[in-house]
Amino acid sequence: MNGILVSQTLRTLIDSGAIAALKPIRKRQIQPSSLDLRLGARVWQLQCSFLPGTAGIERKLGRLATASWRLDAEEPTVLHCGGVYLAEIEEVLELPEGIWGRGNPKSSTGRLDVFVRLLTERGYAFDTVPEGYQGRLYLEITPQSFHVAVRRGDCLGQLRLAAGRSTLSAEALRERQDTRPLCLWSDDTPAPVSEHPLPGVLMSVDLESVHGGPVGYLARRHQPPVDLARRNLSVGRYWTPLLAAGEEGHVLEPEQFYIFATRERLRIPPDLCAELVAFDATKGELRTHYAGFIDSGFGWDGEDGQGARLVLEIRTHDVPFLLEHGQPLFRVEFMRNEAEPDVLYGAAGSNYQMQELKLAKQFGS
**What mean pLDDT is predicted for residues 83-107?**
97
What pLDDT, in 10s, does the model give residues 155-170?
Answer: 999 999 999 989 999 9
Fold category of 170-336 in CATH? Deoxyuridine 5'-Triphosphate Nucleotidohydrolase; Chain A (2.70.40)
pLDDT for the residue 287: 80
What pLDDT, in 10s, does the model give residues 188-206?
Answer: 899 999 887 789 999 999 9
Q: pTM, whole model, 2 decimals? A: 0.94
- The answer to whether 3-163 and 170-336 have equal CATH topology is yes
Closest C-alpha to 69, from 129, 151, 10 = 151
**What mean pLDDT is predicted for residues 116-145?**
97
**347 vs 200, which has greater pLDDT?**
200
**What mean pLDDT is predicted for residues 173-201?**
90
Region 3-163: CATH code: 2.70.40.10
Positive or negative torsion for Cα 211, 217, 220, 223: positive
Name the band, by pLDDT with cuts 50, 70 and 90, for residue 252: very high
- Asked if residue 93 has pLDDT above 70, the reply is yes
Name the band, by pLDDT with cuts 50, 70 and 90, for residue 330: confident
The H or E element containing residue 308 is strand 308-316
pLDDT for the residue 291: 65
pLDDT for the residue 326: 92
DSSP three-state, residue 63: helix
What pLDDT, in 10s, does the model give residues 278-303?
Answer: 766 656 667 877 768 999 999 998 77
- Burial tier of 257 (Cβ tally within 10 Å: 0-12, 13-18, 19+): buried
Residue pair 275/333 in contact (Cβ under 8 Å)? The answer is yes
What pLDDT, in 10s, does the model give residues 18-64?
Answer: 999 989 999 999 999 999 999 999 999 999 999 999 999 999 999 99
Closest C-alpha to 259, from 313, 193, 337, 204 = 313
Domain ranges of the chain: 3-163, 170-336
